[in-house]
């Protein structure tokens, strides 16, 4: 199945997101139903196979909380989720996408993200709870520059 044929959906249910992120060892302390407005899922609302979120911060966006259930990996779900998050961020005016990862550096490099020093993070990113407190200092900081989406179409 091509990544283009994989369907994502917006606003997955909080309980399903928390379950998937907890199973993946990712932070959930700052998740609320309102925050899920900028989250995307794969699978169904009752059987979430994968999830990703994005925090919109003007021209910057923090891609976060990417998790795919272990038995659903290697189907292109992670890539489809990141693509959905990136499209959403670009449609809201983001031109720089950032993320922190403990274990998926190679995956994100394959999607065009480059490793960067945490000290180069813009102030808006440094103020996020994920950057400031939830992710360990050992997490790899990455960036991807992209053109904003054409909002006139």
**pLDDT tens across 90-115, in order?**
999 999 999 999 889 999 999 999 99
What pLDDT score was predicted for residue 122?
Answer: 94
Average pLDDT of span 74-91 = 95
What pLDDT score was predicted for residue 68?
Answer: 96
pTM confidence score:
0.90
pLDDT band at 153 (very low <50, low <70, confident <90, very high): very low
What pLDDT score was predicted for residue 4?
Answer: 54
Q: pLDDT tens for residues 61-72?
A: 999 999 999 999
Side-chain-side CA neighbours of 103 within 13 Å: the count stands at: 6
Pair 51, 21: CB distance under 8 Å: yes
Topology (CATH) of 3-145: Aminopeptidase (3.40.630)
Pair 129, 31: CB distance under 8 Å: no
Pair 58, 93: CB distance under 8 Å: yes
State both tokens at 130. Answer: 């994920």
The residue behind tokens 């925090």 is 55
What pLDDT score was predicted for residue 151?
Answer: 54
Among 3-17, 51-65, 95-109, the minimum mean pLDDT is found in 3-17
Q: Cβ neighbours of residue 49 under 8 Å, at least 6 residues apart? A: 41, 42, 43, 68, 69, 72, 77
pLDDT band at 5 (very low <50, low <70, confident <90, very high): low
- Specify the pairing of strand 114-116 against strand 96-101: unpaired
Average pLDDT of span 37-42 = 96
Question: Can you say whether residue 136 is alpha, beta or left, with left for phi > 0 and alpha for psi between -120 and 50 degrees?
Answer: beta
């Amino acid at each position: 199945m091509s990544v283009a044929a994989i369907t994502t959906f917006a606003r997955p249910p909080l309980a399903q997101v928390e379950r998937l992120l907890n199973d993946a060892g990712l932070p959930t302390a700052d998740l609320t139903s309102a925050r899920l407005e900028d989250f995307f899922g794969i699978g169904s609302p009752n059987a979430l196979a994968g999830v990703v979120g994005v925090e919109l911060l003007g021209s910057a966006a923090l891609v976060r909380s990417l998790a795919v259930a272990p038995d659903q990996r290697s189907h292109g779900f992670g890539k489809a989720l990141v693509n959905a998050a990136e499209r959403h961020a670009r449609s809201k005016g983001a031109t720089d996408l950032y993320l922190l990862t403990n274990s998926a550096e190679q995956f994100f490099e394959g999607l065009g993200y480059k490793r960067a020093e945490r000290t180069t993070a813009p102030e808006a990113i440094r103020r996020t709870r994920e950057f400031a407190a939830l992710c360990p200092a050992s997490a790899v900081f990455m960036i991807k520059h992209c053109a904003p989406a054409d909002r006139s179409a």
